[in-house]
């Protein structure tokens, strides 16, 4: 085995997005160092990674070491507890990548294994395992999805012209990268204004892609969405404040004083509904309100090799009154995609 077992488990886990469950991979290694089983959690309702790996190992699991990216669960959901599967298979040692932040697990998995005499080790070298599924950790810690604001802007900061035209600001490679981001998201969220201006499909359009499609979510306001909107053909979830006021499947939430959906309630409700990673691709009105509500966690912005040469529409449709209103970000990645620049950041604090 050239690859280290935990690295292999991470690679297996990366292949799937079983949200609202976490991405998990597991590898079973016998006492001679042979890989005798492996598995990943593919979808909610399907067996967990440890169970698949143990089944593959069969009787060779007895006396083995299991490397698993996330602390094994100790509760019964749609599947039985993984701790019991590990104990019953006679596993001698379990090496865990990171503790599960889910309150139903969080240390209980380790305690159950230890109580049954299984040696447990936390792999210090894999603290970065949070990066395997950052949305999951965010969701379990906050109860709401991790929101990533994607925007395509001219280098002088305009996402659309005054007349609303914005297709296309960036080049093809940046747009393809945007589709890859969608493929990693459970949902793509926009406001009614974007549906009315651009009639987007919000799907992943990549050659040969046959993976999960993100669900479109539209936050509707005072205007009724057109029945023919393309997102509705894609089973969009339409957030409204009054049942029956919008076409499509509605998610009714309480209104703010101006009658529009309360975004804090929207975030919590989406979290309860199991959305873990949500990409925001809205216009300036909703983006500004998400900013005010503190609901932007991460950004992936494409800065085009193009200048607008004037003020059209900015990312956030709100006034920047004084410097102290700005917020620090941590830029975690910058690269060129085609002729454009891709900047990825997370909000600080
Ligand atoms: N370059 C890019 O990356 C990009 C991406 C997306 C959009 N755009 C451009 O942005 C423009 C559309 O901008 P937009 O601001 O109208 O679109 P938006 O932000 O997507 O939608 C705003 C609308 O959402 C509704 N809404 C519901 N609840 C809300 C709340 N709590 N806070 C704020 N809004 C709420 C309101 O509809 P009601 O008015 O009916 O109440 C509001 O007018 C278009 O020109 C489009 O091309 C550019």
Q: Does domain 5-134 have CATH number 3.30.1330.10?
A: no
pLDDT per residue as tens, the chain (349 positions): 578 999 999 999 999 999 999 999 999 999 999 999 999 999 998 999 999 999 999 999 999 999 999 999 988 776 679 999 999 999 999 999 999 999 888 889 999 999 999 999 998 776 678 889 999 999 999 999 999 999 999 999 999 999 989 999 999 999 999 999 999 999 999 999 999 999 999 999 999 999 889 999 999 999 999 999 999 999 999 999 999 999 999 999 999 998 899 999 999 999 999 999 999 999 999 999 999 999 999 999 999 999 999 999 999 999 999 999 999 999 999 999 999 999 999 998 7
Which residue in the list 50, 71, 281, 289 is annotated as catalytic? Answer: 50
Q: Are 217 and 188 in contact (CB under 8 A)?
A: yes
Burial 262-281 (b: 16+ CB within 10 A, else e): bbeebbbbbbeeebbbbbbb
Two structure tokens written together for 281: 């691709």
C-alpha to C-alpha distance for 268 and 138, rounded to whole angstroms: 12
Single pTM value for the model: 0.93
Q: Is the CB of 164 under 6 A from ligand 1?
A: yes
**How far is C-alpha 29 from the geometric centre of its chain's CA atoms?**
31
Q: Is the CB of 159 under 6 A from ligand 1?
A: yes
Task: Name which of 80, 90, 34 is nearest 58 in CA terms.
Answer: 90
Q: Are 160 and 313 in contact (CB under 8 A)?
A: yes
Q: Beta-carbon neighbour count of residue 299 at 10 Å? A: 20
Please report which helix (H) or strand (E) contains residue 216, including its range: strand 215-219
Per the listing, tokens 């309150």 go with: 103
Two structure tokens written together for 175: 């747009």
Which residue spans of the chain are classified as CATH 3.40.430.10?
Answer: 143-347
The DSSP bridge pattern shows strands 277-280 and 187-191 to be parallel
Ligand 1 pocket test, pick from 155, 178, 286 with the greatest ligand atom count within 8 Å of Cβ, gives 286
Q: Is the CB of 24 under 6 A from ligand 1?
A: no
Q: Is the CB of 200 under 6 A from ligand 1?
A: no
Q: Are 96 and 108 in contact (CB under 8 A)?
A: no
Task: Name which of 211, 202, 188, 205 is nearest 231 in CA terms.
Answer: 202
Separation of CA 292 and ligand 1 centre (Å): 15
Separation of CA 311 and ligand 1 centre (Å): 17
Q: Are 190 and 282 in contact (CB under 8 A)?
A: yes
**How far is C-alpha 12 from the geometric centre of its chain's CA atoms?**
18
Residue nearest atom 13 in ligand 1 by C-alpha distance: 283
Which residue spans of the chain are classified as CATH 3.40.140.10?
Answer: 5-134
Separation of CA 302 and ligand 1 centre (Å): 19
Let me know if 50 is a catalytic residue. yes
- Superfamily of structural domain 143-347: Dihydrofolate Reductase, subunit A (3.40.430.10)
Per the listing, tokens 């490679």 go with: 173
C-alpha to C-alpha distance for 232 and 216, rounded to whole angstroms: 8
Separation of CA 223 and ligand 1 centre (Å): 11
Residues 6+ positions from 88 with CB-CB distance below 8 Å: none
Query: Bridge partners of 346?
Result: 298, 330
194 SS3 class: helix
Atom of ligand 1 minimally distant from the CA of 198: 47
Q: Is the CB of 282 under 6 A from ligand 1?
A: yes
C-alpha to C-alpha distance for 189 and 202, rounded to whole angstroms: 9
Question: What are the tens digits of pLDDT across the range 74-114?
Answer: 887 766 799 999 999 999 999 999 999 998 888 899 999 99
**How far is C-alpha 245 from the geometric centre of its chain's CA atoms?**
29
Query: Widest CA span of the chain, in angstroms?
Result: 70
Per the listing, tokens 């949500």 go with: 278
Task: Name which of 132, 131, 157 is nearest 343 in CA terms.
Answer: 157
Question: What are the tens digits of pLDDT across the range 199-244?
Answer: 999 999 999 999 889 999 999 999 999 999 999 999 999 999 999 9
Q: Is the CB of 267 under 6 A from ligand 1?
A: no
């Amino acid at each position: 085995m050239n690859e280290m077992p935990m690295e292999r488990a991470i690679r297996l886990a990366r292949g799937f997005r079983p949200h609202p469950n976490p991405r998990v991979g597991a590898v079973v290694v016998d006492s001679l160092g042979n890989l005798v089983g492996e598995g990943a959690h593919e979808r909610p309702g399907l067996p967990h990674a440890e169970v698949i790996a143990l089944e593959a190992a069969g009787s060779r699991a007895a006396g083995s070491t299991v490397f698993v990216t996330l602390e094994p669960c100790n509760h019964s959901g749609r599947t039985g507890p993984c701790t019991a599967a590990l104990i019953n298979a006679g596993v001698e040692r379990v090496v865990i990548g990171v503790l599960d932040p889910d309150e139903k697990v969080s240390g209980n998995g380790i305690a159950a294994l230890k109580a049954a005499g299984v040696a447990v080790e936390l792999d210090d070298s894999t603290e970065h395992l949070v990066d395997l599924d950052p949305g999951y950790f965010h969701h379990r810690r906050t109860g709401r999805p991790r929101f990533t604001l994607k925007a395509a802007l001219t280098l002088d900061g305009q996402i659309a012209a005054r007349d609303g035209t914005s297709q296309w600001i960036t080049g093809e490679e940046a747009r393809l990268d945007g589709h890859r981001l969608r493929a990693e998201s459970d949902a793509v969220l926009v406001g009614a204004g974007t549906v009315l201006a651009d009639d987007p499909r919000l799907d992943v359009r990549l050659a040969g892609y046959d993976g999960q499609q993100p669900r479109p979510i539209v936050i509707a306001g005072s205007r009724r969405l057109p029945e023919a909107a393309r997102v509705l053909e894609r089973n969009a979830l339409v957030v409204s404040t009054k049942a029956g006021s919008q076409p499509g499947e509605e998610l009714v939430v309480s209104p703010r004083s101006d009658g529009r959906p309360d975004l804090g309630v929207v975030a919590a409700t989406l979290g309860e509904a199991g959305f873990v990673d949500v990409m925001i691709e809205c216009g300036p009105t909703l983006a500004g309100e998400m900013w005010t509500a503190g609901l932007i966690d991460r950004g992936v912005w494409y800065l085009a090799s193009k200048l607008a040469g004037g003020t059209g529409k900015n990312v956030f449709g709100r006034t920047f009154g004084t410097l102290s209103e700005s917020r620090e970000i941590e830029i975690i990645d910058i690269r060129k995609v085609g002729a454009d620049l891709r900047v990825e950041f997370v909000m600080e604090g």
